[in-house]
């Protein structure tokens, strides 16, 4: 059995799916330890997993909440740019503290989120195997694939390729502070330097939460890349919900995730768009609204701070979302079509895939209005094509294998790495 360390951004959208993968591996006899900032210890342990702190000397308590609050005020490229400084800080803490923590804990291999490239650098320095995990949208840096932060459709034409390459160049320029930190340590540790925007990518295995059917065409993917579908299994954390308040009307579930849930004007627009329709709106605000704001919402939505998302989506007819991949995949896992209002990060790219697969409608944030949103809701609720396409993706998710197949791939990759290491060791004798 193997002792795995998990390195990922300190955001729920990354921690939650990796916790599910960790639980599946732990159930098979492996040991799992998250390496995270101190204030996430309670969250990690409540998911039934071990925790080791990084950043004790450099992290200021409350810094994460401050960053969440600021990100919640921003959208588009501004939110991406703001996040660079925070991600630079986290990368520096990982490089400084993770090697010592890994060696002290006896961690033998790493699961590294693709959006935390410091994990790959640490694995290379310690010469231990690592598996790459795509909790957010799988990033394929190919000229014909639009960058994850753009809303562009896939087009394999010369002008689209030039457009995509120009956007990748902008990404390279904006991510320089993170690469500077990584290269300082890579130079110190005598590792090859990185150029441009870098994601963690393992030659052993790279695993994506997406099913292949919910991605753009990607030619010549390496054999080590695997689409497994979402990582889900029951969390020890129970979420209470007033099931008795469901009316039996067609259910619309709305959520803006954990980073964009302070945008009360969007919640207001969603409630107003549903008012007067023969539906019941269940709105989960994730702590982003106070009681006074909830009372001002139009209509009679059922508003909760948190919802048992998968269980609720099993009863839903439509999901309204900011386009976070976890909510989108949870919705499609239940064959539920979507209306997406992308705000920032990979959400525009996820929205583009919703359009590409015909599983819903997408409204850019700058074009959002009550009338436009109501029209999109009515189209998705009444036109069978959206439901048919959502069921098609549901079937592909069922076939992809999910968290169990992801754990199979992880264990097989680590076994292969161990065999190769022994072979090389014998060859040197």
Rg (CA), the chain: 22
Which mean pLDDT values do the consecutive 10-residue runs of the chain (429 residues) have? 96 96 98 96 96 88 78 74 85 96 97 96 97 96 94 96 96 92 97 90 96 94 96 91 97 90 90 97 91 92 95 98 97 98 94 98 96 98 98 98 98 86 57
The b-or-e profile of 263-284 (16+ CB within 10 A means b, else e) is bbebbbbbbbbbbebebbbbbb
Phi and psi at 368, nearest 5°, equal -70, 130
d(CA 202, CA 414): 12
DSSP per residue over 299-326, as a string? S--EEESS--HHHHHTT-SEEEE---HH
d(CA 273, CA 194): 47
d(CA 297, CA 380): 23
Domains of the chain: 3-229+401-428 (3.40.50.2000), 243-398 (3.40.50.2000)
- DSSP label of 398: H
pLDDT of residue 330: 98
Angstrom CA distances, 230 to 33, 41, 155, 405, stand at 21, 24, 26, 10
Name the token pair of 385. Answer: 């094509």
């Amino acid at each position: 059995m193997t002792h795995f360390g998990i390195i990922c951004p300190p955001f729920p959208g990354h921690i939650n799916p990796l916790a599910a993968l960790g639980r599946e591996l732990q159930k098979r006899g492996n040991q799992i330890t998250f390496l995270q900032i101190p204030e996430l210890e309670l969250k990690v342990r409540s998911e039934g997993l071990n925790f080791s702190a990084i950043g004790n000397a450099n992290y200021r308590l409350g810094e994460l909440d401050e960053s969440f609050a600021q990100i919640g005020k921003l959208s588009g490229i501004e939110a991406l740019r703001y996040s660079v400084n925070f991600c630079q800080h986290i990368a520096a803490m990982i490089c400084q503290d993770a090697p010592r923590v890994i060696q002290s804990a006896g961690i033998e291999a790493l699961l590294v989120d693709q959006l935390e490239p410091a994990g790959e650098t640490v694995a290379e320095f310690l010469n231990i195997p690592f598996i790459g995990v795509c909790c957010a949208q799988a990033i394929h840096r190919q000229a014909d694939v639009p960058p994850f932060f753009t809303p562009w459709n896939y087009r394999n034409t010369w002008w689209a390729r030039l457009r995509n390459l120009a956007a990748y160049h902008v990404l390279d320029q904006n991510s320089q502070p993170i690469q500077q930190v990584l290269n300082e340590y890579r130079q110190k540790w005598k590792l090859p330097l990185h150029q441009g925007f870098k994601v963690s990518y393992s030659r052993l295995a790279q695993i994506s939460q997406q099913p292949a059917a919910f991605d753009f065409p990607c030619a010549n993917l390496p054999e080590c890349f695997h689409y497994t579908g979402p990582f889900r299994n029951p969390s020890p954390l129970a979420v209470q919900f007033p099931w008795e308040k469901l009316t039996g009307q067609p259910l619309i579930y709305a959520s803006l995730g954990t980073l964009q849930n302070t945008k009360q004007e969007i919640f207001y627009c969603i409630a107003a768009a549903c008012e007067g329709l023969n539906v019941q709106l269940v709105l989960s605000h994730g702590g982003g609204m106070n009681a006074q704001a909830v009372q001002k919402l139009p209509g009679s939505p059922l508003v909760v701070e948190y919802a048992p998302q998968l269980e609720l989506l099993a009863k839903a007819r439509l999901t309204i979302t900011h386009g976070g991949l976890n909510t989108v995949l949870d919705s499609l896992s239940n064959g539920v079509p979507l209306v997406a209002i992308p705000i920032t990060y990979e959400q525009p790219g996820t929205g583009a895939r919703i359009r590409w697969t015909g599983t819903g409608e997408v409204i850019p944030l700058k074009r959002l209005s009550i009338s436009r949103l109501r029209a999109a809701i009515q189209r998705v609720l009444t036109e069978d094509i959206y439901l048919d396409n959502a069921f098609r993706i549901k079937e592909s998710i069922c076939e992809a294998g999910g968290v169990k197949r992801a754990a199979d791939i992880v264990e097989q990759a680590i076994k292969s790495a161990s065999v190769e290491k022994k072979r090389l060791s014998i060859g040197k004798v």
